[in-house]
């Protein structure tokens, strides 16, 4: 099973488009040796793609979820991700930013296990595979997949209401607390989640909170705008560090609003700027962090806006070679297990791209010629993630890992 799991994982890291692509590499002796070295197995021949699919259909998805959980837990305990924590001068402690959002990664006209459904006006039904993902993010673009809660209807067709992102969030947040009870966290959410149940869960777990406010909560937004307009002192102008456009930032503290039976007290900040079409773009965020002139822009740029990183993460997984939307299998548990494989592959890719592995491999391959290895980021050198995955595939098929002994190497993980 280790060999099968590693081969399924490498299919994602090699940007294969389908299961059968691994069959074309079965006769590559170097690739077989590399799979054996990575997995610790002694396979005499690589398994057929049907064997991989058969295994993924029957493997309990919690097995792969546990593998990812152990990977992230090891990285946190070994302080590899410590540079991704927030500045304690801004947040009162060194916290991780955990963005939570839903992703739809497969649609079919035939009924799928572990799916939700959408009925069109003409009576046709789409069956969709969806998940709610929690990722550790930072403003510099590093995203570490942390935990998944799948959005799926109960078995049978007698359920009253379909599963949704909100219901999945109510299951995910207690699991996150149980697995990391002492981890300081600031939860980053979309405006969809600004409701009584989610606010209560965050409050019970003693986490920080930052929510992108939108028109789904018009009463709260109207009260926040009224409070910000009433205090002209809480405003400043500067250049947006992202696109260098001039922006206006306003804020106010202690905006009270009642969701259901729960009264919330949140601090609100807004950013407005003019785009190329001469239109004013405005973003509003609600947070539990107290705001003042000294740190309001840091909260905006380093805490609230990085929620968008999880959207970029899904874009990478879908469009840049990891094949999140590729139907490697949907029967049985395959749809869930292949999703977990993409998240593990993404985690490994992040560690490769932002570690000192690139420099060490240059020195190993050319010890006589390279005295000053390239210090830039690996992605800047190769241009795109697709190019990185293509190079990875090429060398896994050509260069035996047995020639590279990394036991004495020390790696650094750089988040800047």
> pLDDT tens digits for 52-72?
999 999 999 999 999 999 999
Residues 19 and 67 in one domain: no
Could you tell me if residue 416 is inside a domain? no
Residues 123 and 50 in one domain: no
Task: Tell me the average pLDDT across 292-309.
Answer: 95
- pLDDT value at residue 22: 85
Q: How confident is the model at residue 198 (pLDDT cuts 50, 70, 90)?
A: very high
- pLDDT value at residue 415: 65
Could you tell me if residue 328 is inside a domain? no
Residues 123 and 146 in one domain: yes
Q: Is the pLDDT of residue 372 over 70?
A: no
- pLDDT value at residue 405: 82
The Cα–Cα gap between 324 and 9 comes to 12
pLDDT cut 70: percent of the chain above it: 96
pTM of the full structure: 0.93
- pLDDT value at residue 156: 64
Of 167-176, 191-200, 220-229, 357-366, give the lowest mean pLDDT range.
Answer: 357-366
Q: How confident is the model at residue 158 (pLDDT cuts 50, 70, 90)?
A: low
The Cα–Cα gap between 47 and 66 comes to 24
Are the CB atoms for 364 and 141 separated by under 8 Å? no
Residues 244 and 116 in one domain: yes
- pLDDT value at residue 371: 65
Q: Say which residue, 62 or 19, is predicted with more confidence.
A: 62
Residues 39 and 70 in one domain: no
Q: Say which residue, 365 or 91, is predicted with more confidence.
A: 91
- pLDDT value at residue 217: 86
User: Would you state the structure tokens that stand for residue 88, as one six-digit string?
Assistant: 């304690």
| Structural domain boundaries enclosing 148 | 61-318
Task: Tell me the average pLDDT across 276-287.
Answer: 92
Q: Is the pLDDT of residue 365 over 80?
A: no
Residues 115 and 235 in one domain: yes
The total number of structural domains in the chain stands at: 2
Could you tell me if residue 333 is inside a domain? no
Q: How far is CA 172 from CA 189, 193, 266, 275, in A?
A: 13, 13, 23, 37
Residues 176 and 67 in one domain: yes
Residues 6+ apart with CB under 8 A from 45: 26, 32
Could you tell me if residue 342 is inside a domain? no
Task: Tell me the average pLDDT across 33-38.
Answer: 93
The CATH number of the domain holding residue 269 is: 3.90.350.10
When the pLDDT of each residue in the chain is averaged and rounded to a whole number, the result is: 91
Could you tell me if residue 70 is inside a domain? yes
Could you tell me if residue 189 is inside a domain? yes
Residues 49 and 72 in one domain: no
Residues 189 and 297 in one domain: yes
Q: How confident is the model at residue 37 (pLDDT cuts 50, 70, 90)?
A: very high
What residues pair up with 251 in beta bridges, in sequence order?
269
- Contacts by residues 272-279 (CB-CB < 8 Å, ≥ 24 positions apart): 272/247, 272/248, 273/240, 273/245, 273/246, 273/247, 273/248, 274/245, 274/246, 275/245
Q: Say which residue, 372 or 191, is predicted with more confidence.
A: 191
Could you tell me if residue 343 is inside a domain? no
Alpha helices (H) in 40-132, listed in sequence order: 49-58, 61-77, 88-91
Residues 191 and 304 in one domain: yes
Q: Is the pLDDT of residue 376 over 90?
A: no
What residues pair up with 145 in beta bridges, in sequence order?
135
- pLDDT value at residue 370: 63
Among 318, 335, 363, give the residue marking a domain's end: 318
Task: Tell me the average pLDDT across 96-119.
Answer: 94
Residues 48 and 103 in one domain: no
Among 318, 339, 373, give the residue marking a domain's end: 318
Residues 257 and 296 in one domain: yes
- pLDDT value at residue 231: 86
Could you tell me if residue 380 is inside a domain? yes
């Amino acid at each position: 099973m280790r060999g099968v799991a590693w081969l399924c994982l490498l299919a994602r890291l090699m940007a294969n488009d389908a299961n059968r692509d691994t069959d074309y590499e079965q006769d590559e002796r170097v690739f077989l040796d590399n799979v054996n070295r990575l997995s610790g197995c002694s396979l005499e021949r690589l398994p057929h793609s049907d064997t991989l699919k058969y295994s993924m259909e029957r493997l309990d998805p919690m097995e792969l979820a546990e593998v990812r959980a152990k990977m992230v837990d090891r990285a946190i305990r070994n302080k590899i991700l410590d540079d991704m924590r927030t500045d304690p001068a801004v947040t009162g402690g060194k916290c991780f930013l955990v963005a939570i959002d839903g992703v739809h990664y497969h649609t079919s006209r035939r009924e799928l296990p572990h799916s939700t459904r959408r009925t069109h006006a003409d009576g046709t039904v789409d069956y969709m595979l969806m998940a709610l993902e929690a990722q550790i993010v930072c403003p510099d673009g590093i995203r570490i997949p942390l935990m998944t809660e799948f959005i799926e209807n109960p078995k049978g067709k007698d359920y009253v209401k379909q599963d949704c992102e909100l219901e999945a969030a109510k299951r995910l947040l207690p699991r996150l607390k149980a697995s990391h009870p002492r981890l300081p966290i600031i939860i980053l959410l979309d405006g969809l989640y600004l409701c009584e149940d989610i606010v209560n869960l965050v409050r019970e777990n003693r986490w920080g909170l930052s929510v992108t406010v939108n028109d789904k909560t018009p009463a709260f937004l109207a009260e926040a705008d009224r409070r910000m307009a009433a205090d002209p002192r809480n405003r400043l102008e500067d250049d947006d560090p992202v696109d260098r456009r001039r922006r206006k930032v306003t804020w106010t503290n202690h905006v009270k609003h009642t969701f259901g039976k729960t009264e919330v007290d949140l601090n609100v900040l807004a950013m407005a700027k003019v785009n190329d079409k001469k239109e004013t773009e405005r973003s509003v965020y609600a947070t539990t962090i107290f705001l003042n002139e000294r740190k309001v822009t840091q909260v905006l740029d380093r805490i609230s806006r990085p929620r968008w990183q999880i959207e970029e993460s899904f874009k990478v997984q879908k469009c840049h070679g990891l094949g999140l939307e590729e139907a490697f299998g949907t029967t049985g548990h395959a749809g869930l297990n292949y999703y977990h494989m993409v998240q593990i592959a993404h985690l490994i890719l992040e560690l490769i791209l932002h570690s000192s592995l690139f420099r060490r491999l240059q020195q190993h391959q050319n010890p006589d010629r390279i005295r000053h290895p390239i210090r830039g980021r690996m992605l800047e050198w190769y241009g795109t993630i697709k190019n990185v995955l293509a190079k990875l595939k090429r060398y896994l098929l050509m260069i035996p890992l047995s020639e590279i002994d990394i036991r004495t190497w020390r790696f650094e993980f750089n988040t800047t």
